[in-house]
Amino acid sequence: MRIIEAFVILPLVFAFLIPFVKEKGKGIIVIMVILINALLSSYFAVNSLLGKSYEFFLPGSLISGLIPIRIDSLSGWFILIINFVFITGCFYGLFYMKAYKKQKNSISLHAISFIILHSTLISLCVIQNSLVFLVVWEIMALSAFLVIIFENEKSATVKAGINYLIQSHVCILFLMFGFIWAAIDQNSFDFKNISLFTSGNDGKAIILFLIFFIGFAIKSGFVPFHTWLPYAHPAAPAHISGIMSGVIIKIGIFGILRMILLIKPDYTLIGYIILTVSVISGLYGVMQAIIQHNLKKLLAYHSIENIGIIGIGIGIGCIGMGSGNQTLTTLGFAGALLHTLNHGLFKSLLFYTAGNVYQATHTLNIENLGGLVKKMPQTTFLFLIAAIAISGIPPFNGFVSEFLIYNGLYSWLHNATLAALITIVFSILALVLIGGLAMLCFTKAFGIVFLGNPRQQFNHEVKEVSLFQLIPLYLIAFFIVFIGLFPDLFLNVLNYPVSLFTGILDKNFKPFNTVVAIRSISQTMWVLILVVILVFSIRRFITRKKSIVTLTTWGCGYVGIATKTQYTANSFIRPYRKLFKPFLLIFKHKKNIEGIFPDSAHYESHSYDKIEKMLIDNPIRAYKSFLGKFVFLQNGKLQFYIIYGITFILAVICIPIIYKIFFIFIEFLKQL
């Protein structure tokens, strides 16, 4: 109990301290508060993952009533992910922000919002009072907004921030609607009443669930609610992008999982709905990611893809719950939960390395980069690990969670109906395509940014970031490899969270070791590593005395400087772009070379999100043109505005009076 009070008070006290200390002190305070809060919350989280669950009641106020704080293993899992990503992100951020030392006021605000963001995210995992939940959610959304718009002197950043702010309020609107509906009926804000509210009424349960699903889907970036994400990520500083992709969008996943547990709708139906949305998100996310030439925007679209993979896991888990197929439930939810962690790891690592690239070169446009491996070998190495992991390729962690989901899908084959079979085939198809496209995308990103020759000369020296800045990155990379090599350790931790969904707490029920040969996977990974080392050392041994010559790259006999003839990102994806044309929206501006004495020619292409155009831009344009019809009202003449004002005041006064008279008149008519 005391711990919880400390948890609330501590960040507040230190947040007030921050403006009064120097820049270095701010950093120390932030990391200290994050560490202490992480320790406090991890204590509960670890215990809850070991099977203990906690329930506290905070007094609350007259309006909110008692505030129940319930920590179960699901909250525990998410709290641990949040803490890990925040600690590494904060540590990385300390060094990343050094370049912005002079903007004292912005840094204070940034530091305060950062602390608040951390505490609110953890609180959201445990608070089970809908009113307080909404308030905390709002604080979280606002503090996230503040940390995103750190570079607010750039108009693009502010625009992205406002976009985020609006969309996150649409999200809150949905959540508010859902919570109020349940609360009015039950006359209490406790989450438990949501279960009571929906029990025994399938229609109501599904509608309520869908309302919450849309709300949380906006936060987590499911297509078609994803449009804020590709703007917000590139606008934010690197450590914030990493945290945002790593945990902030995951709080939406947490919300969906919590609602699955609370509302008990027709699981099969919602399973299919979630699966469909997720398959679309996964495919669409990665399809858009490939054509992006801003490194961070590319990564942002990959977040949408990975949310899709997590969603596929949740979807098949729900279908398993609906049909009583415990293996499917376990594999689906275990895959989803593990992928939540995995994505948090490799995506934050990717964003941090992208941050390093930005720090060194001051650009994120892939087409201007190249050859960074020579200047920044460590960043290159870390990016490579994360890129392999995110493509779901063994021996790293991305493979393990995708393997679980694949196994779920394949094991479902044996007792599925026709409809289910077709769903399985298309889900497998989607998952395979997502994997292949992710590989295409990351070979492009890695190959163009880090390999080859520099495509542009910079006026400043491009050099590796400091070793301290790389430490948190190595820590993340370590976990990426560790989960890949010892997946069974992490799956054992997942026993309790998954049992919330299956309802089985039997120690003998271990589908991870029977259906999924997770131990064999880990052994096979070791064999793989051994084989690689063996082959490589044989190579070293045999070639040690052989002559090694270094020459230019083969260019069909051309030996001049060939940096301009290198393959570019745009040309790398050209075959893909042609093939997937119907799903993409690409604008080209070009001037061809014409005539005997041609003058300058140019070619330029940029892409735009097709769904954003259809679902956001077009309706807004229609709305604007509708409102444009009334633009005569806004004629800039003061007299008119005064008239409007008077009309409004009169209307406010008169309408109730008229209404009353009208009412009396009706009553009078009735009496006749």
Partner 1 sequence: MLSFILILIAAAFFTGIIIRTKSIFSGRKGPGILQPVKDVIRLFRKGAVYSQTTSFVFQIAPSIYFASVFMAMLVVPFGQYKGLISFNGDFIFFAYILALGKFFSIISAMDTGSSFEGMGASREALYSMLAEPAFFILMGSLALLTGHLSFQEIFATLHIGSYITYALAILATFVILMIAMIENSRMPIDDPKTHLELTMIHEVMILDNSGFDLGLILTAGYLKFAVYGALIVNLFVGVIPYEYTIPMFFIIQFLVAVAIGTIESFMARFRMGHNAQFIFALTSVSLLIFFGALLILGKFI
Q: Which stretch binds partner 1 (CB under 8 A): 8-16, 226-234, 244-252, 561-569?
A: 561-569
Is the separation of the CB atoms in 136 and 120 below 8 Å?
A: yes
Q: Residue 226: left (phi > 0), alpha (psi -120 to 50), or beta?
A: alpha
SS3 state of residue 44: helix
Which of 81, 430 has the CB closer to partner 1? 430
Distance CA 240, CA 147 (A): 7
Asked if 603 touches partner 1 (CB under 8 A), the answer is no
Which of 310, 385 has the CB closer to partner 1? 385
Q: Print the SS3 string covering 647-666.
A: HHHHHHHHHHHHHHHHHHHH
Q: How many chain residues interact with partner 1 (CB under 8 A)?
A: 82
Query: Per the omega criterion (within 30 degrees of 0), is the bond before 487 cis?
Result: no
Burial class (CB in 10 A: 0-12, 13-18, 19+), 494: buried
Asked if 1 touches partner 1 (CB under 8 A), the answer is no
Interface mask toward partner 1 for 516-555; x: CB under 8 A: xx--xx--x--xx--xx--xx--x--xx--xxxxxxxxxx
* Least spacing, CB of residue 573 vs partner 1, in Å: 7
CB atoms inside a 10 Å sphere around CB 585: 16
* Least spacing, CB of residue 178 vs partner 1, in Å: 38
Tokens 């009412």 belong to residue:
663
Residues 6+ apart with CB under 8 A from 453: 370, 371, 562, 563, 566
Asked if 457 touches partner 1 (CB under 8 A), the answer is no
SS3 state of residue 393: coil
- Using alpha carbons, list the distances in angstroms from residue 396 to 25, 313, 335, 378, 479: 38, 19, 15, 18, 9
β-sheet bridge partners, residue 585: 608
- By CB under 8 A, name the one of 212, 572, 584, 609 that touches partner 1: 572
- By CB under 8 A, name the one of 188, 443, 492, 607 that touches partner 1: 443
Which of 201, 571 has the CB closer to partner 1? 571
* Least spacing, CB of residue 512 vs partner 1, in Å: 11
- Using alpha carbons, list the distances in angstroms from residue 411 to 326, 502, 517: 11, 17, 12
Site for partner 1 in 331-390 (CB under 8 A): 370-371, 373-374, 377, 380, 384, 388
Asked if 576 touches partner 1 (CB under 8 A), the answer is yes
Site for partner 1 in 629-668 (CB under 8 A): none
* Least spacing, CB of residue 462 vs partner 1, in Å: 15
Which of 255, 371 has the CB closer to partner 1? 371
Q: Which stretch binds partner 1 (CB under 8 A): 109-117, 193-201, 248-256, 428-436?
A: 428-436
- By CB under 8 A, name the one of 393, 481, 504, 585 that touches partner 1: 393
* Least spacing, CB of residue 402 vs partner 1, in Å: 8
Asked if 424 touches partner 1 (CB under 8 A), the answer is yes
Query: Per the omega criterion (within 30 degrees of 0), is the bond before 395 cis?
Result: yes
The dihedral built from the CA positions of residue 560, 564, 569 and 574, taken in this order, carries a sign that is negative
* Least spacing, CB of residue 31 vs partner 1, in Å: 33
* Least spacing, CB of residue 474 vs partner 1, in Å: 17
